[in-house]
Amino acid sequence: MTGHYLRQAARLLAKQRLHALINVVGLATALGLCILIAVFVKQEHSFDTWHQNADRTYRVDRIDFNPDGSFSSQQSSQPYNLAESLLRDHPDVEAAVRFNQSEVVIRAGGVMHQQNVLFADPSVLQVFTYVPVQGALEGAFSDLAGVVLTETAADRILGPGNVVGRELEVRFGDTYLPAVVTAVIEDLPAGTSLPFEVLMNFERAPLVYPWIARRIDNWRGSSFETYVLLREGTDMQAATQTLERLRTQYYPTLAEEGRQAGWWTGEGEPATYGFVSLTDLHLQPNAPGQFVTPTDPKYSLILLGIGLLILALAAINFTLLTLGRSSIRAGEIGVRKALGAGRRDILVQFGGESILTALLGFVGAIALASILMPAAISLTGREMSLADNLDVLLAVGVIAILTGILSGAYPSVVISRNRPSDTLRGRLRLTGSNTLSRALLLTQFAASIALVAGALVMQAQIGYLLSQEKGYDDSNVLVVETNGTDGFELTSHLRNSLGSNGAVEGISAMSLSFNRGYSSSSWMAAGVEKRAYIYNVDTELPDFLRMELLAGRSFEAGRSSDSTEAVVVNQAFARDWGWTAEEAVGQRITDYDNEPVIIGVVADMNFRSLHEEVQPMMLTLNEGWLAFALIRAAPGRTRDAVAALEDAWQSFESGAPLRYTFLNEDVAQAYEQDLRWARIMGIAALLAILVACMGLFGLAAMTVARRTKEIGVRKVLGATVGGVTLLVSRDFAVLVGIASLVGVPLAYLGLNRWLEGFAYRMDLGLSWFLGSCLLVLLIAMATVSIHAFRAATTDPVRALRYE
Amino acid sequence: MIKTVNLSKTYRTDEVETTALNGVSIHITPGEFVSVMGPSGCGKSTMLNILGLLDSPSDGSYVFNGTEVATLSERQRAQLRKGNIGFVFQSFNLIDELTVYENVELPLLYLGVSAQERKDRVAAALERTQIMHRKDHFPQQLSGGQQQRVAVARAVVANPALILADEPTGNLDSTNGEEVMKLLTELNEAGTTIVMVTHSPADAEYSHRTIHLFDGHVVTENFMSKTYAV
Amino acid sequence: MEEPIIRLVNVTKSYDHGLSQTHVLRRVSLDVHAGEFLSIMGPSGSGKSTLLQIMGMLDEPTQGEYFFSGEPVHRLSARRKTQLHRENIGFVFQAYHLIDDLTVYENLETPLLYRKIKSSERKSIVAEALDRFNMVAKKDLFPSQLSGGQQQLVGVARALVIQPKVILADEPTGNLHSSQGDQIMESLRTLNREDGVTIVQVTHNQDYAHIGDRVVELLDGRIEREYRVDESVNTE
Ligand SMILES: Nc1ncnc2c1ncn2[C@@H]1O[C@H](COP(=O)(O)OP(=O)(O)OP(=O)(O)O)[C@@H](O)[C@H]1O
Ligand SMILES: Nc1ncnc2c1ncn2[C@@H]1O[C@H](COP(=O)(O)OP(=O)(O)OP(=O)(O)O)[C@@H](O)[C@H]1O
Ligand SMILES: [Mg+2]
Ligand SMILES: [Mg+2]
C-alpha cells in the first residue's frame, strides 16, 4: 500500500512538476530564511550570555530625572571611586570592575602598532569569562605591567608561538613604558558588549594618564563604566534600594545645591543609580555604552516580524497549494472511498504526501541556510553558525512538519467527511475552501504590499539622511593617523613639506576624527551641568572644515590665551544652555578642571548620526593631543595629494607605518548600522516577496489547472485568448485591490513609527504606497497572465481530455 | 463543407504509439446529416475533434469551407470555429461554476448577441430539450441525461452551420433520445450540417448516411435509402 | 423466505434550495434478494442513479430505512459502512470516475489494495480482468488517454475484480458499441447465474433490461411499475 501511495506521489511530483517545485522550493526558501533570521535574532538576544556570571553581572548606570520626576537620560560612565565604594559599602556586591578605553601605540620588535586598549580592574578576570590559551588568567594582573592579549592581537603584534613573558613597550603621552604579556586568550565571541584585543590593568591608568589621576576622589567627573558582580541569590529589589540609598550617601547635598543654583526644582533627588543587567546591554539604546553601540531592539523585532511573516507566507502558500490540489482531487477521494478506502486510508495518503513534501522543503531549507550563511555573516557583520543553533533547526523542523500535517490533513479530513456521492458530483466540495483560500491569498497580497512599501521607504529614508547638509565640508579630506608620533610635530612637518603643493588645499589636525571614537564630558555653566562632545583641534580646524561661524570668532594662531582658556562651541551647545549664539560668546564654563570661555559659535553640524538631533559639541585648542592630521586635497587631485603625503611621511622618519582614511567615509560610518539594517530589511523584504510570488505563481498555475476544462469549453464556445486571460486574471486583480486597503494602512502606521526614531525624516507620501500596490499588482498580473495565456492558447481537446 | 484526404492521428505515450485515425478520407456536403458508428476506441471522437477544429491531425489534409485547416495555429482555428460550429461532447463538458441557463447562454455571449434575443433563444433551446425546469441548477445537481440535454441545448442555441454531436443520446432514455433526434432532424432540415457519433442503429436511421469506422479506417458508408432524396 | 440482501423501506431523497425543494425519490420501498438480477429503468432524471448510490452506501436517504443483509445501514457508523461496502459491493459509475493520476492497471488494482490482497494474487486478478475486457494494450495508459467507451470498460472491470457479492452498475453500456455492450451484459449474466452475484443495473436499453429477472421502472422518484421479466413477455 505504501508503495502504491509513494508511486502515485512520485508521479504527481513528476507530472505536477511545477506545483511540486513551487511547493518544495517555496517552503525551502522561506524556512531557510527563517533559520537565518532566527539564528541572527537569537544571537542578538544572547549577547554576553556566554559569561558564566552573566546572570549576576550588572553595569551601574546613573539615571537623571527631569524636575517633574520623569526620565531624562541615562549615563553609563561613573566616577572613579564608585567601584571601590560600592565594594566596600554594598553588601551584595562581590566584585566591581572599572573600564576605560584608550588609543595607545605599542612597540614590539621595533614595529609600532596603534592599538585600542581596554583598561580594566584585575577583578575583570574573575567577573567575566575568558578562555586562556597561553599562560594563566589567575594573577595575570598581579603586576601593573601585565597585559592580556587575544589570539588575533598576539599574532599581529608578536607573531605566532608562545608569547607569554614577551616584553612590549607602550607609549603613554610622551614616554614608552615597559609591559609584559601574562596571558593569551581566545578571541572573544561575536556577541560581546565589551570587545577588546588588548587588556591592561586599570590600576596603571592613573599612573600614566594625568587626567585620570585627577579624577581620583572627584565625585563630579564621570568617565568610567563600572560593572559589579552581585552575590548569588541577591534580592534585586533590595539591592537596588541599597544602591539608591548609597547614591544619596555619596551625594548628600546634590539636590540642595541644584535648588540653590536653580537647575533643580524637583521634589526628590535629581538622579539615582540603577543596575543594568549585562545581558540587556546590547539591546539598550537608551544607555549607549562607551565601547560598542547597542542595537536598537526595534530592528531585530522588525526582522523577526519579517521572518514570521515569511514563515506565515510560506505556510499559507503551502496550505493553499495543498488545499487546491486536494479540491482538484476531491473526485479521487470520492472514488477511493467508493472503492473501499476508509477515512484513515485517505488521511494517511494525503497527510503523508504533504508531510513528505514539507520534509523535502525542510531539507532544502537547511541546505539553503548553509549556502547563504557566509552572505548573511557579511551582511550582518556578526559571526554565526548553524551548528551552534541546532535548537533553531529543530524548532523550524517542527514547524515544517506541523505545516505539512495541518495543510495535508485539513482537506482530507474535510473532504473525506463528505458523502462520496457529493464529492463525486461536485469537484469542489471543500467546505469554505474558496473563502479560506481567498482570505489566505488576501493576507498574502496585503503582506507583500506592506513589505514592498517598507523596503522602499527604508531605502529612501537612508538616502535622505545621507543627502542632508552636514554643516561642514568633508570632501577630499584625508585623515592621517599620527600613529604614535607627535601630532603637532607631524602637522608642522606636513605644513612645511606640503604647504606649497598645488594638490593640497589645507592642513589641520584634531584629537579624534568624526566617528573614530568619542569623547564627552560634563560641563557646568550658569549652575547647569550638561554633557558635550569634545574635540581637541588646532587653530586651523574650523576654517579647514569650512564650518560656518555664527557669532564671535574662531581660534587665532597668535593668541596664547586661546590655547588654555578658549573654546568654540556649536549652536546646539548654546541652545542646550538656553543661549542664543550671541549670548553664548563670552560665557565661562567649567568641568572642574578647566574654566574656558566660549569665544565663538559655529553652525550645527552632524558629526554623529542623523538619528539624533545635532548634539552639543565643543572644540578646544590642544596641540599636545592631536591624534589625526587632516589634509584636504584639491578637487580631482586626491591621487597627487596621497603621493605627496607618502613622500612627506617618509621624510618624517617616525618609523611608524602610514595609515589614512577619508573623512567622508568615516562620517558614513555613523550610518553603517542604518545602512546595514536598510540592506537587511531590503533583502528580507525582497525574499519575502519572492516567496509570496512563488506561491502566487503556483496558485495561478493551479487556478488555471482547475479551470482547464472551463477554459477549454469557453474557447470552444467562442472565447478569445484575451478574453480567457482576462477572465482568469480579473479575480486576482480584485484581490490585490482589496489587499491594498488592508496593507497600506498597516504599512503606513508601521513606517511612521519607524521614522519617528529619526531626527531628520523624509515625507511619507502616498506615492510610496501607490507604487507598492502597483508593483504587487504588476507582479501578480504577470504571474497569472503567463498561465492564463498558456492555457488559452493550447488546443482545447487537450484541456477537455482531462475530464 | 468538409473534405479530408488521408487524415491521420497518432498518439505517442512513453512506450506505445496509438494510431487513432489512419488515412481517413471523407467528404461531407452542406446540409448533410451523417452518422458515425464503430466500436469503442476506433477513433470516432478523435475524428469529430479534428473536424471541429479542436485538434490538429498528425497527417493529411482537411479543407473546411474551402480553407485548408490542417496546418493552422490554434488562434486561427479559434477564429474559424467561432459561431460556425456547435459541439455536443461525449462527456458533456459543462462548466461546473455556471448554471444551466448560463451554460447555454455562453455561446451567444461570445457572439455578442443582445440581451433580449439571448433570453429568447436560450429559453427556446431549453424548452426544446425539456430541461427548462432545471435552468437555475448547477451541472453537478443534474442527472447524467439532464446534463446531456443541456449540452445539446448549448450546441444548438447559436444556430451554427455545423453541429458535431458525440453520442448525444448515450445517457438518455428512449423518449428523451427521440426528442433529441427530432431536434437534430429539424435543424438539419433547416439547413444545418450534422455529424453525429452514435452506437444506436435506431438513431443512425435519422441520418442520410452512416460512416463505419474500425481501428481508425473508414470501412463502409451506408446510405439511408429512405431519406437520401435531397 | 430468506432475508433480502437489500431492503429499502420508504426511502425519500430531497434537496433543499432555500425556498424550493427537489424531490428525487419519494417513499421508495424495494427488496432485492440475494442472487437476483434487477434492472432499473426510467426517464432521465427520474432518480435511478440516486437510488443506486443509496444502495451502494455512497449517499444517504433524507428519510427512510435501508437494511443490508439485515443490518440497518441508516443507523451504522461511517466505519462500519465503509467496511460493509468494502466487503460486498462493486460499483460502476455512470460517469466512470476513474482516478486521473493512475494508469488503467493501477485503477484496477486500487480496490484490491484496500482489501489487502497479496501482491501475487493481485497481479493475476488484474491481468485476467485486462484480458477479459481486451484492455491489455491500454494497461499503462491514463484515463485521459482512453476513449469514452474504453473508460467505461475500465469502470466495469474495476467493479468486478473484487468479486463482490453485489454489483451495482449505472448504465454500464451507455457509451459502448452494441457488440461490446452485449459482451458486458453477457459477463453480468454469467456472474449472476454461475457465481450467484446479486446485480442491480440501471439501463435505458429494453433488451438489456430483460436479461435480468425483474424490472423496476421509476418515474419522478416513484416506482411506477415493477414486473418480472418472464411475465412482461406475456403482457407485451
Ligand atoms: N445536488 C442536487 N441538487 C438538486 N437536485 C439534484 C441534485 N442531485 C441530483 N438532483 C436531481 O435529482 C434527480 C435525479 O437524479 P439522478 O441522477 O438520480 O437521475 P437518473 O435517473 O440517474 O437520470 P439519468 O438517466 O439522466 O442519469 C434529477 O432531477 C436531478 O436534477
Ligand atoms: N491522448 C491520448 N494518448 C494516447 N492514446 C489516445 C489518446 N487519446 C485517444 N487515444 C486513443 O485513440 C483511440 C481512439 O480514441 P477515440 O476517443 O477517438 O475513440 P472513440 O471512437 O470515440 O471511442 P468511444 O466510442 O469509446 O468513445 C483509442 O484507442 C484511445 O485509447
Ligand atoms: Mg468517443
Ligand atoms: Mg443517472
Q: Give me the residues of chain C with pLDDT under 50, please.
A: 234-236
If you search the block for the grid coordinates 523542523, which residue do you land on? A397
Residues B172, C206: C-beta atoms closer than 8 Å:
no
Nearest CA to ligand 1 atom 25: C44
CA of B164 to the centre of ligand 2 (A): 17
Q: How far is C142 from chain B (nearest CA, A)?
A: 10
**Coil, strand, or helix at residue C167?**
strand
Check C100 against A802: CB less than 8 A apart: yes
Contact status of A19 with chain C (Cβ, < 8 Å): no
> The cell 553603517 sits on which residue?
A672
pLDDT on residue A759? 74
pLDDT at A238: 94
Give the pLDDT of residue A322.
77
The Cα–Cα gap between A669 and A514 comes to: 9
Closest residue by CA, ligand 2 atom 25: B40
DSSP of A265-316: --SS-SEEEEEEEGGGGGG-TTS--SSSPPPPHHHHHHHHHHHHHHHHHHHH
A17 shares contact with chain C (CB less than 8 Å) = no
The pLDDT of residue C169 is 95
Positions of chain A with pLDDT lower than 50, given as ranges: 426-432, 802-803
Distance (Å) of CA C207 to CA B204, C184, C185, C204? 18, 13, 10, 9
| CATH number of the domain encompassing residue C200 | 3.40.50.300
This complex has an ipTM of 0.86
Interstrand relation of B59-64 and B67-68 (parallel, antiparallel or unpaired): antiparallel
CB-CB contact of B74 with A795 (8 Å): yes
Structure confidence at residue C228 (pLDDT): 92
* Domain assignment of residue C167, yes or no: yes
- Tell me what pLDDT residue A286 has: 67
The identity of residue A629, as a single letter, is: A
Q: To the nearest whole angstrom, how far is the Cα of C207 from the nearest Cα of chain A?
A: 29
Note whether B40 contacts C147, CB cutoff 8 Å: yes
DSSP string, A338-363: HTT--HHHHHHHHHHHHHHHHHHHHH
Of A714, A719, A796, the CB nearest to B54: A796
8 Å CB contact of A800 and B89:
yes
Of C44, C49, C140, the CB nearest to B176: C44
Directed axis angle between helix A766-793 and helix A721-756, to 10°?
150
Q: What is the DSSP letter of A548?
A: P
Q: What is the pLDDT of residues B149-168, one digit of tens each?
A: 999 999 999 899 999 999 99
Residue C94 CA, ligand 4 centroid: distance in Å: 6
What residues in A contact C102, CB-CB < 8 Å?
8
In whole angstroms, give the CA distance from residue A369 to residue A38: 11
> Is the beta carbon of B49 within 6 A of some atom in ligand 2?
no
| Nearest residue in B to C93, CA atom | B144
Share of chain B above pLDDT 90, in %: 50
The values of phi and psi at residue A502, to 5°, are -65, -20
In this structure, how many other beta carbons lie within 10 angstroms of the beta carbon of residue A237?
8
DSSP state letters, A161-199: S--TT-EEEEEETTEEEEEEEEEEEPPPPSS-SS--SEE
Q: Is B55 helix (H, G, I), strand (E, B) or coil?
A: coil
**How close does chain A come to B226, measured CA to CA in Å?**
34
Question: What integer best gives the mean pLDDT of chain B?
Answer: 87
**Are C101 and A12 inside 8 Å of each other by CB?**
yes
CA of B160 to the centre of ligand 3 (A): 22
**Residue C236 falls within a domain, yes or no?**
no
Q: What residues of A are in contact with residue B91 (Cβ under 8 Å)?
A: 800, 803
How many beta-carbon pairs under 8 angstroms link B with C? 92
Mean pLDDT along residues B11-24: 84
The alpha carbon torsion through B191, B192, B197, B200 (nearest 10 deg) reads -40
Percent of chain A having pLDDT more than 70? 87
Min Cα distance C153 → chain B (Å) is 9
What are the DSSP calls for A695-729, one per residue?
HHHHHHHHHHHHTHHHHHHHHHTT--HHHHHHHHH
Task: Give the three-class secondary structure for A579.
Answer: coil
Q: How many CB atoms lie within 10 A of CB B71?
A: 10
Ligand 2 centroid distance, CA of A544 (Å): 90
Sequence-distant (≥ 6) Cβ neighbours of residue A753 within 8 angstroms: none
Per-residue CA distances from A142 to A168, A224, C177 (Å): 17, 21, 107
- The whole-angstrom separation of Cα A492 and Cα A499 is 10
How many angstroms away from the CA of C118 is the closest CA of chain A?
10
Nearest to C102 among A8, A341, A421 (CB): A8
**Domain extent at residue C73:** 6-231
Q: How far apart, in whole angstroms, are the C-alpha atoms of residue A613 and residue A602? A: 16
In a domain, C1, yes or no: no
Instruction: Tell whether the torsion through CA atoms of B102, B105, B106 and B110 is positive or negative.
Output: negative
pLDDT, residue C235, reads: 45
Q: Does B54 contact A797 at a Cβ distance shorter than 8 Å?
A: yes
Nearest CA in chain B to C16: B141
Whole-number pLDDT of residue A284: 76
Give chain C's domain count.
1
- Ligand 3 (ion): residues with CB under 5 Å are B 45, 90; C 147-148
Nearest ligand to the CA atom of B20: 2
